[in-house]
Each structure stands twice: as C-alpha cells, then as structure tokens.
Amino acid sequence: MLYTSTRDSSLRFPAAKCFVQGISADGGLFVPETFPQLTLDEIASMSELSYSERAFMVLSRYLTDFSAEELKTCIKNAYELKFDDQGVAPLHFLNDTTAVMELYHGPTLAFKDVALQILPQFLKCARKKVNEDATTLILVATSGDTGKAALEGFADVDGMAIAVFFPNQGVSKMQQLQMTTQTGDNVFVCAVNGNFDDAQTGVKKIFADEGVKAELAKKGVKLSSANSINWGRLVPQIVYYFSAYADMLKAGKIQKGDKINFVVPTGNFGDILAGFYAKKMGLPVNKLICASNKNKVLTDFFDTGIYCANRDFYKTNSPSMDILISSNLERLLFELSGGDAPMIASLMAQLKNAGEYRINEDMFTALHESFAAGNASETETAYAIRDTWAESNYCIDTHTAVGVAVYEKYRKNTKDTTPCVLLSTASPYKFPRSVLAAIQHEIPEDEFEAAEILKSMGIKQPAQIEALKTATVLHKTVCEKDAMAETVINSVK
C-alpha cells in the first residue's frame, strides 16, 4: 500500500515515510492510493475480537511496510496499557437503535488519545525504517486537549522528545494541571504570555526558521509535528467505526449488512473523515452526520458547496470544535473529485488567498451521498446535556452534546430511523462546570468541586481526576510570545 499527495498525484510513498514527514512537500496531505476492502464476513467476524485484534485487522491493510510483529507491538503499547478497564471504544446503548460510542477512556479523557497513544509508536518504528538518527522533537501549540494527549503519548518514547506551548490563562484549570504535572524525561511544557493564536503562530514561526533548525541540528535534534494532518493520527480512527458496527451486531441491534448512521462532533474533520474511509473500505454506512457548534463553517459548506472561512470566530463551551479551517476536509475533497490533485491544489490556493472556495456540482452531489450536516447553538447544546441526563440517566460532555442536539434535529427533519452511533469525544469530567451548568443552576467556581458534584450524582469519576488533585506541578516555565524559539533551543539538553 502506497500513499500519494492530495496536491501531487505523481508521488508514491510507504506509510513509514508519511508518518515521519507529516505533510507532503507540496503542502498537500498524504492519502492512500487505493482503499483496502473488508468483506461483510470479515467485518462480522470482528464481533468476537478484542479491540486490539480489530485494530490489527484494519491497520495491517494500510501499514503494509510494518511487520505483523511491529504492528502488534504498537497496538499493545497504545491500547492495552493506558486505557481503563472499559476498553478503547465501548458502546453505551441509549435505546434499541441508538448507541453512544465512548472514545474517552484513555489517559487524558478525550478521544484524541485513541490516535495520540499509537502515533508515537508508529513513529518509533518508522524512524528505524527511514534510518533517522536525530532525536525527533515534537512541537505542539495547544488550546488545551491536544497538548496533554500528545504529552501522554510521547512521554519516554525512545528517540523522541516533546515540547508543548499553551496560552497562559487561556486553558481551563483542569487542562493546565494535566499538562504541568506531566512526568517523563523527554517532556517540556511552557506557558506563553499570549492567547492560543500567539502560541500557534510562534510554533509555525519556529518550523519556518532555518536558523533555529540549524541550532537544533547541532544538538542532534530534528523538529516534527503531531497534528491531525499526519496520516498516523488519522488511520487509527478508522478502526473504531468497524468496532462500533461489530458491537452493534454482537448486541443484536442490527443484522449483518444493515446500514447504520454515525454522528460526529467535528472540528478539524479528522474524526468524521475516518468514518468516510471506513465506508470506502466496505463498512455499511448510510449517513455520516457532521455536527458543528456555533462555528458552523462546515454546515454552511454542506448547505451551499462554498467553504468560507471569512467569518467571526466564536469561543464556545465545546472549545475543541472551535475551528474555522478544517484541514482534513482537503482529503475528502480529493476523494470527491476522483483524485484530481491539480483541482485540489487550486481550491486550497483559493482558501489561502481569498479565504474561500466553491466545489463543482459533481463533488457537491457526491458529498451528499455520504454526509449530512447540522449545527447546534450553545443553548441547544446545554439542553441536550440536560435532556439526556433526565431521560436516560446518562451524562455527556459538551462536545458530545453538540452531536446529540444535531442528531435530534436531523431525525425530525428527515424522519430517518436508521440505527445510529453517536461518537462521544470527551468525558463529562473534562468539562465539569459546563456540564453541571446545563443540569442545575448553582455551580461552584472550582472545577474540582464541580467534579465532586458530578460524582455525588452517581456519575463514575475517572481515577485521573482524583490523581490530578494531588499531582506535583513539575513545569513552571513561562515565556513571552517572541521568546518561544529561544526557549525551545534552551529546552534541549
């Protein structure tokens, strides 16, 4: 299996090279040349397999340059040691035709763990395959969730180091503590005096600064990134769509071959794109429902065929979905256009230069064959939390709630009764104050006190929350936004 670029289809690379390189030299994203197929019998056979075995079945079709043993080691290190006893992607049934897939049982309580636990393992193997000797330093700017998930994944992985920058006073208390208490000999965490954009701009500048790169090279270090455009973050997400289907079968909610819907709370379009890839591999999917919050650039795109990033940016209670440029959409456009790389290069140039583009009729038609879309306001999101708690005695976080709210509207509008899996992307304990505010009027100022109240309501509290309360703060570095490059260089011993 080889990979090409969305902007230059003359390229052909094995998976290892795509993992190490991250992004194609032409600015495009790596995509599989063809999609491996799984038969209905193979999919049904997953019902009897563990998550790790399901992962092997899917990933071995894509990572053909990895040996079975290498891949099994990657999977074991990622999923068998760091996820709690409920597993990687368990289903919780709300009723006979609707299930929630809980993707937040990893170390940082959000679905990004599913990809960020295994990406470092892929990179460790891939570095050997491409004979990389330098230490790979992963540089991350985070608005909260990604930083911690990347720290957990990369901590103490051989040959790798990680530096995370977060906006000082720009993340929740819980998120800040998660990062500043991170252990590991190869981790560096720093608060930046500025907002998330300042931190992100600083990181981008470092990547583009030849002087900084030369300084780091002297110390035997090469920079890389772990953001969601890396193929190594996307491919692990395909697995849980198959896993959900297998569990629906196993529970007797569907018959082999029945189609199901998925609802996906979406930001950068990585998660839902993995669902589209699963469909292309043969998974019986009716509709992938793309759920957005008040930042509804994707809903408008699905409605009109015009992607327009020139608009106001809103801060919401589902911050991991506050995004105006959904990078992974580029990969979907590539598929919808039948692999027309010059056209994708042109659309992406329009986005960069004018902040918008329009897709053609054929692509628009193809888009609606697989997808539906909708958005939820802050009020609708809060009502979804409140109602799900009241009706099903089940507590969801603010991101998952966007999905639930959008699905309610979708069902009303379409009368579609296809069995459905709602992807739950974060634990309610990650955003306890917002969750509590949706359920009751009085809420404490402190996140930990809010978490205690959730616990008293009978909602199972993950061990990580208790541990965080007493963890030692190990990282106290703060830097100015124009001193980030210097700080990175000094962080390397």
Ligand X SMILES: *Cc1c(COP(=O)(O)O)cnc(C)c1O
Q: Scanning residues 268 to 287, which ones bind ligand X (CB under 6 A)? A: 268-271
Options 70, 113, 145, 380; binder of ligand X; rule CB under 6 A: 145
Does residue 237 contact residue 201 with C-beta atoms inside 8 Å?
A: no
CB of 321 or CB of 341, closer to ligand X: 321
Q: How far is the CB of 431 from ligand X (least distance, A)?
A: 9
* 184 CA to centre of own chain: 23
Of these, 24, 176, 425, 434, which contacts ligand X (CB under 6 A)? 425
Among 267, 374, 428, 432, binds ligand X (CB under 6 A): 267
Residue nearer to ligand X on the CB measure, 216 or 336: 336
Tell me, what amino acid is at 46?
A: M
Q: Do residues 114 and 89 touch, judged by C-beta distance below 8 A?
A: yes
| 128 CB neighbour count, 10 Å cutoff | 12
Scanning 2-10, 155-163, 212-220, 261-269 for contacts with ligand X by CB under 6 A, the matching segment is 261-269
Find the binder of ligand X among 174, 332, 426, 438 (CB under 6 A).
426
Candidates 108, 266, 427, 464: give the one binding ligand X (CB under 6 A): 266
Residue 172 to residue 318: CA distance in whole angstroms: 12
Give me the amino acid identity at 408.
E
Give the Cα separation of 74 and 321 in Å (integer).
Answer: 29
Structure tokens at 293: 């919050």
Site for ligand X in 91-120 (CB under 6 A): 110-112
- Residue 399 makes contact with ligand X by CB under 6 A: yes
Q: Provide, rounded to whole angstroms, the least separation between the CB of residue 255 and ligand X.
A: 30
- The one-letter amino acid at 299: T
Those residues whose C-beta lies under 8 Å from the C-beta of residue 101, and which sit 6 or more positions away, are 89, 90, 91, 240, 244, 421, 422, 423, 424
Nearer to ligand X, 166 or 269 (CB): 269
Q: Three-class SS of residue 285?
A: strand
| 325, two tokens | 């440029």
Residue type, 485: A
Please pick, from the candidates 139, 321, 435, 465, the single residue that binds ligand X as defined by CB under 6 A.
321
Q: Could you tell me the smallest distance in angstroms from the CB atom of residue 406 to ligand X?
A: 13
Q: Which amino acid is at 303?
A: D
Give min distance, CB of 384 to ligand X, in A. 14
Q: Considering beta carbons, is residue 64 or 313 the nearer one to ligand X?
A: 313
Give the contact letters, 347-366, x = binds to ligand X (CB under 6 A), - = no.
--------------------
Give the C-alpha separation, 441 to 387, whole Å: 15
Residues 6+ apart with CB under 8 A from 39: 282
In the complex with ligand X, the residue whose CB is nearer, 84 or 258, is 84
Nearer of residues 224 and 425 to ligand X, judged by Cβ: 425
CB of 361 to ligand X, least distance (A): 26
- For the record, the structure tokens of 481 come out as 């936004």
Minimal distance, residue 426 CB to ligand X, in Å = 4
DSSP 8-state symbol, 78: I
The residues that touch ligand X, with contacts defined as CB under 6 A, are 110-112, 145, 228, 265-271, 320-321, 399, 425-426
